[in-house]
Amino acid sequence: MNEPIESFEGPSGDSALVRMLYPAPAERRPGAILRWWEKRRLPYNLIVGASGLAAATLHTVVHGVPPDFFTGVVAVGVFANVAYTLGSIVEVAVHTLWGRKILPIGPVLFRQGVLFSVGLTFVLPTIVIAVGAVAKILGWVFAG
């Protein structure tokens, strides 16, 4: 009755995006889990980098290039990779603590991490830029 669930299949489809976001879970050993995560680091960085590039382009068009632009780019890249590494650490810890009593969490953590990182690198700065632009316009309207 309390047998562990061994696998989960995500949405059907054979697109590269579906395969990346709904991959087969890693073999259930710490080394295999870490390899599973490292195999996906480059696609993660490409996705986060593309969203950051879009946000940086928008910021540059609206406000110009800030003096600390490259420092910010490096900081976001480092933070994103530290957060990514935490995904594998959490999965290894969960596997060590509970083993096969729960579903593998790597694919879920990966999807949530990608979404969170894209949100931080694109959506949040875009909102800040939009609010700044509205504030500037309101300043012109009410100052003149």
pLDDT tens-digit map of 29-85: 889 999 999 999 999 999 999 988 888 888 788 778 777 778 878 888 899 999 999
pLDDT of residue 55: 85
Within-domain flag for 48: yes
Output Rg (C-alpha) for the chain, integer angstroms.
Answer: 20
Q: How far is CA 111 from the centre of its chain?
A: 7
Within-domain flag for 7: no
Tokens representing 22? 């709904």
CB under 8 Å, gap of 24 or more: what pairs does 100-103 form?
Answer: 100/4, 100/6, 100/28, 101/4, 102/4, 103/5, 103/7, 103/8, 103/25
Within-domain flag for 47: yes
Within-domain flag for 103: yes
CA distances for 123 relative to 5, 129, 136, angstroms: 36, 10, 20
Dist. CA 88–CA 118, nearest whole Å? 19
Within-domain flag for 6: no
Q: Which domain holds residue 49?
A: 26-143
Percent of the chain with pLDDT over 70: 89
Within-domain flag for 67: yes
Within-domain flag for 88: yes
Residue for token pair 């087969």: 24
pLDDT of residue 81: 94
Ramachandran region of residue 98, left (φ > 0), alpha (ψ -120 to 50) or beta? Answer: alpha
Q: How many structural domains does the chain have?
A: 1
Within-domain flag for 15: no
pLDDT of residue 13: 61
Q: Could you read off the pLDDT of 8-30 as tens digits, one per residue?
A: 455 556 788 888 888 777 677 88
